Amino acid sequence: MRVIETVDEMRAARRGWGERRVGLVPTMGFLHAGHISLVERARAENDVVVVSIFVNPAQFGADEDLDRYPRDEERDAEMAEEAGVDLLFVPSVSVIYPDGFGTWVDVTEPGGEARARPGHFRGVATVCLKLFNIVRPDVAFFGQKDVHQALMLQRM
């Protein structure tokens, strides 16, 4: 399993895969059985499986503690490798949101939770569209735990 951190390396890897079908599982890390089931589905339906790990500051509210979000990169890498992931994409915050970043994705009215968590869905949509543009997957896999998020991403 390759582990890469930069957009250039990710794009080069994608070019190298050519016409092979690529599945992406976007995550914020601290992998668990739910993520692994998405990886297994991606593995079964694609030639290449990419998992991204990025704790996305843009989807945390002012009263939600980004620093306390659980992280265990070593364990995540072991679990991903064991599950048959080909490439782990682990960009830093400055790779995803470089200085001067100011382009956001707003998906209109996915449901009630959008009102309860202002900014949250904008952060999710923005990071997912960035990941799609960087990784260029044929298909992406998301859990259904957060139904509002799933509907919003489907809409996007």
Q: At what angle do helices 7-17 and 120-135 cross, to 10 degrees?
A: 50
Options 5-13, 25-33, 85-93, 99-107: segment touching ligand PAF (CB under 6 A): 25-33
Quote the CA–CA distance of 152 and 103 in Å, as a whole number: 18
State the residue for tokens 């998020």. Answer: 149
CB of residue 19 to ligand PAF, shortest distance in Å: 27
Binding status of residue 56 toward ligand PAF by CB under 6 A: yes
Q: Which amino acid is at 64?
A: E
Q: Which is nearer to ligand PAF, 36 or 127 (CB)?
A: 127
* Angle, CA of 7, 12 and 17, to the nearest 5°: 125
Binding status of residue 126 toward ligand PAF by CB under 6 A: no
List the one residue from 28, 95, 105, 156 that touches ligand PAF (CB under 6 A): 28
C-alpha 13: how far from chain center: 17
Cite the beta strand spans of the chain per DSSP E.
2-4, 22-27, 48-53, 87-89, 139-140
CB of residue 141 to ligand PAF, shortest distance in Å: 10
Total binding residues for ligand PAF by CB under 6 A? Answer: 10
Q: Is 120 a catalytic residue?
A: no
Options 15-23, 68-76, 77-85, 120-128: segment touching ligand PAF (CB under 6 A): 120-128
Question: Among residues 32, 35, 120, 148, which one is catalytic?
Answer: 35
Binding status of residue 124 toward ligand PAF by CB under 6 A: yes
The number of C-alpha atoms within 13 Å of 122 and in the hemisphere containing its C-beta is 12
User: What is the set of active-site residues?
Assistant: 35
- Residues near ligand PAF (CB under 6 A) are 26-28, 56, 59, 124, 127-128, 142, 149
